[in-house]
Amino acid sequence: MDLGLKGKVAVVTGAASQQGVGRAIASVLAREGVDVAVTDIIFEGVQATAQAIRKEGANVLALKVDQSKYDEVQKAVVQIREKLGSIDILVNNAALTGNMAPAHKMTAGAWENEIDVNLNGIFYWTREVLPVMFQNKWGRVINISSMGGVIGAAGLPAYCASKGGMIAFTKTLALEVAKKGVTVNTVSLGIIDSGVYSKGFMDPTVMKAIKRRLPMGRMGEPGEVAELVVFLASMKAAYIQGANIMIDGGITLGISKDNLGIGED
């Protein structure tokens, strides 16, 4: 199926991880003929991502960007326009996770750091990119949120607050740009096998319990997320506006005998 994306230019943030969602999204976009700018604070990682997806034949630009700093985002947008010509698609994928503590024990610095990256960062990127999309009278903004922004997760107050804020920001922005040829949508992830959970992010006992609750019996794959994101970026999704699409294998739907470990009668 031709998604009508050939010749478009995309920015994918948070694209350094080899197993990550950002790299998968950038790769599928490149497969569809999109030129891609990949950004991350870890420059060696985005360089590796760029090298991996150049084989798709797309032009790829790798940039080191700390998106918690507005001036770095501004400079990156200028560089991307100079090198690739325009910006048609923005995938706000970069996020900081790892400050696991209940709210009454989280430090102000840890809170501010996650909000700066996860929420302020997507505002900075969007603010700088939207004028380009308005000029083109066409654009796609896709924000990568989490089930934590929908149902919450004890011990992750800053992360969940930032991801919930992202969903609200998406809805507001979608209303503001609806008549300007731009769509804005959120994709909220469940448990995705992106390597995060194998790096000690979560207590093994908790992780085992979560896996037991997965209705489909497995974690999602980064490639599955990428295919959804690229569809939302395409001409086929022109009437999807302000949506929050869950890609979580059904984990947020509720409980069943199976995911409680009781089994069927």
Q: Catalytic positions, please? A: 159
Instruction: Identify whether the C-beta of residue 16 lies closer than 8 Å to the C-beta of residue 218.
Output: no
Q: How many CB atoms are closer than 10 A to CB 42?
A: 14
What span, in angstroms and rounded, lies between the C-alpha atoms of 155 and 141?
29
H helix or E strand, kind and range, residue 207: helix 204-213
Task: Work out the number of other CB atoms within 10 angstroms of the CB of residue 205.
Answer: 8
Question: Which residues, other chains included, contact 55 with Cβ-Cβ below 8 Å and sequence gap of 6+?
Answer: none
CA distances 104 to 81, 116, 153, 160, 181, Å, are 44, 20, 15, 15, 44
**Burial class of residue 12, CB neighbours in 10 A (0-12, 13-18, 19+):** buried
- How many Å apart are CA 161 and CA 65, to the nearest integer? 23
Between the alpha carbon of residue 111 and those of residues 8, 54, 70, 118, the distances in Å are 36, 37, 18, 11
The identity of residue 67, as a single letter, is Q
Residue 9, beta-bridge partner list:
35
Which 3 state secondary structure label does DSSP give 9? strand
